[in-house]
A and B are shown apart, each in its own frame.
Chain A
Amino acid sequence: MQLYIKFFAMHLKSQMQYKLSFFLTALGQFFASFTVLLGVYFMFSRFHEVEGFQFEHVLLCFAAVLMAYSIAEMFGRGFDQFPQMLGNGEFDRALVRPRSVIFQVLAAKMDFTRFGRLFQAILVFCYAIPNSGVIWTWDKVLALLLMVVCGSLIFFALFIVYAGFTFFTVEGLEFMNIFTDGGREFGRYPFSIYGKRILKFLTFVVPLALFQYYPLLYLLDREKNMLYMFTPVIGLLFIIPSCAFFRIGLRKYKSTGS
């Protein structure tokens, strides 16, 4: 962890070298996801609820997913850049250093310009938390916290899977973005609105709903069962097959070198 902070400081130093670019990109990021927010807003100005979720409820969901995603992205951006790392041989360098490979890929790139997105998530939270009509008892606070923390870890695991694919295809796979960027985009509405089948898929295969839909039900008192509060924790199991997949890919890389 200490070493991670050191890497963090290095990235910050590097990116600060280009001050103007840094701030402009952050600003751009902010506005880019701002338009998404406007989309949600305009939709609710026509329809007042979706599947029994009101605007403020959706905002809560939106903010939790956006925040989880931007945290994951900020720290786990290395996996997104992984195809380049393989291509330019930077990955070989990681293999000749006495540290875990996953850690090094993770620390290889950090994207602070994503602060813009994070900042926006915070703003939306500031609005949604008092206006959602949720009475914030300790368990509700914990549920929301779990949504964000476990959510970012699950997005993170998806980045690892994405990188794992790179070992087989050399190029990054765009279809994986359905789950990463797509998860963020579609995740602004509770996943139940996309239908039962998709909800099932997002529960049992790619567990995005586990940190979004189910705990949201608990937050809004639609479900009283404490299990719904802890579904994000169950979702963390997804990390195990993700890492395993990455290791299989790594073994293949070591034997083919391509």
Chain B
Amino acid sequence: MITLSNINKTFRVARRQAGFGRAVKALFSREYELIHALNDVSFTIKDGEMVGYIGPNGAGKSTTIKIMCGILTPDSGMCKINGRVPWRDRIAHVREIGVVFGQRSQLWWDVPIIDSFELLRDIYKIDRKIYKNNLDELTVLLDLSELLKTPARSLSLGQRMRCEIAASLLHSPKILFLDEPTIGLDAVSKMTVRQFIKRINAERGTTVILTTHDMQDIEALTERILLIGKGRILLDGSLTELKKRSSRRKTLVVEYNGSAPEITDDMTLIEKKNGRLVISLDPEIFPVSDAIAYLAARTELTDVSVSGITAEEMVAELYREYHI
């Protein structure tokens, strides 16, 4: 159980204008700017939940994660994770969490992966039997058997990410923090990682908190999303709920032979090329089936496709809506 209540965090950042003269001036007197990284952030995450934590760059995602990991202390507010305050009870707390920073490796660059794993076993004092079980399981699930004897520096990014994730799960943490786990991965690796995260959540009941910019991650993995912008939690809800909430408009793409059909006022024309029309419409006002029938009566349709809003578009719309 993770509870954050009224967390505030401010950073003081030195500010100066470009130019050498200004740089010299800044050496002696500095102007500081206060940045409210987090502003009254509160939320609760239950055990075994899988939460997507999204927001544009600089919104406060990693500050929140750092506070939950015990790396940073907030200015005010309380954070309790499984009954502990992370930054006060650091050692006991971190024993129960696993952290993957997508952009930073925790593996030793020059030695085989298995050596890194064994060092982690000693760092976390993992019981030999548990370690062996976990390692065997992770090896099968993430298909690591070929990789374990290779040094990290000769692995591809996708292979390394699989090893990173395995490394953070060796000590059977109750909570897993994933900071952009799929960044820079190819399509196949992304799918493997997603499937695996889903499975760990379902089978072990590990709570997963995931930050990402890849909306497909969110779509594939999380039921609940938290949207943060300018240091505030803006939305907390399920993805389906959000989709319903945001624009219901559908996009209709038709291909036709012959002359272009006239469209009604209820349809918005997005694109018109020879033989192809892209139309946006609100199904409440003009049902999609009626629209197709309407077009079919006026021209010879060769292909029709209808699509709703994607998570990507929805998030972009949300960012616009909240001006973040």
Name A residues whose Cβ lies closer than 8 Å to a Cβ of B: 2-3, 6-7, 10, 13-15, 17-18, 88-90, 92-93, 95-99, 254-258
Indicate which residue in A93, A256, A257 contacts B104 across the interface (CB closer than 8 Å).
Answer: A93
Given A6-B122, A96-B97, A254-B87 in contact, is the A14-B69 Cβ separation under 8 Å?
no
Indicate which residue in A2, A95, A98 contacts B69 across the interface (CB closer than 8 Å).
Answer: A95
A3 to B106: give the CA distance in the assembly, Å.
17
Structural contact, B94 and A96, CB atoms closer than 8 A:
yes
Given A98-B123, A257-B66 in contact, is the A17-B110 Cβ separation under 8 Å?
yes
- CB-based nearest B residue for A99: B123
Question: Which residues of chain B have C-beta atoms less than 8 A from A2's C-beta?
Answer: 122
Question: Which residues of chain B have C-beta atoms less than 8 A from A92's C-beta?
Answer: 66, 69, 71, 101, 104
Indicate which residue in B63, B87, B94, B151 contacts A98 across the interface (CB closer than 8 Å).
Answer: B94
A13 to B112: give the CA distance in the assembly, Å.
10
Residue B249 CB within 8 A of the other chain: no
Given A98-B123, A99-B123, A256-B11 in contact, is the A14-B72 Cβ separation under 8 Å?
no
Interface of B is mostly: mixed
Structural contact, B122 and A3, CB atoms closer than 8 A:
yes
Structural contact, A98 and B124, CB atoms closer than 8 A:
yes
A18 to B11: give the CA distance in the assembly, Å.
42
Indicate which residue in A7, A89, A98 contacts B91 across the interface (CB closer than 8 Å).
Answer: A98
Structural contact, A13 and B104, CB atoms closer than 8 A:
no
Indicate which residue in B75, B91, B97 contacts A99 across the interface (CB closer than 8 Å).
Answer: B91
A7 to B71: give the CA distance in the assembly, Å.
23
Indicate which residue in B73, B108, B115 contacts A254 across the interface (CB closer than 8 Å).
Answer: B73
Residue B263 CB within 8 A of the other chain: no
What are 22 contact pairs spanning A and B, CB under 8 A? Answer: A2-B122, A6-B119, A7-B119, A10-B119, A13-B110, A13-B111, A14-B110, A17-B110, A17-B151, A88-B104, A93-B99, A95-B71, A96-B69, A97-B123, A97-B124, A98-B94, A254-B71, A255-B72, A255-B75, A256-B11, A256-B12, A257-B71
For window 40-72 of B, CB contacts with A under 8 Å fall at 63, 66, 69-72
Structural contact, B110 and A96, CB atoms closer than 8 A:
no
- Not counting A88-B104, A92-B69, a sample of 20 additional A-B residue pairs whose C-beta atoms are within 8 angstroms of each other reads A2-B122, A7-B119, A10-B108, A10-B111, A13-B115, A89-B101, A93-B99, A93-B104, A93-B106, A95-B94, A96-B97, A98-B94, A98-B123, A98-B124, A98-B125, A99-B91, A255-B72, A255-B75, A257-B63, A257-B66
Question: Shortest CB–CB separation between residue B14 and chain A, in angstroms?
Answer: 10
Residue B109 CB within 8 A of the other chain: yes
A143 to B69: give the CA distance in the assembly, Å.
47
Name B residues whose Cβ lies closer than 8 Å to a Cβ of A: 11-12, 63, 66, 69-73, 75, 87, 90-92, 94-95, 97, 99, 101, 104, 106, 108-111, 115, 118-119, 122-125, 151
Given A13-B111, A14-B111, A99-B91 in contact, is the A257-B123 Cβ separation under 8 Å?
no
A18 to B109: give the CA distance in the assembly, Å.
12
Structural contact, A10 and B104, CB atoms closer than 8 A:
no
Question: Which residues of chain B have C-beta atoms less than 8 A from A88's C-beta?
Answer: 104
Question: Shortest CB–CB separation between residue A9 and chain B, in angstroms?
Answer: 9
- CB-based nearest A residue for B95: A98
A46 to B54: give the CA distance in the assembly, Å.
74
A257 to B123: give the CA distance in the assembly, Å.
24
A96 to B65: give the CA distance in the assembly, Å.
11
Question: Shortest CB–CB separation between residue B126 and chain A, in angstroms?
Answer: 11
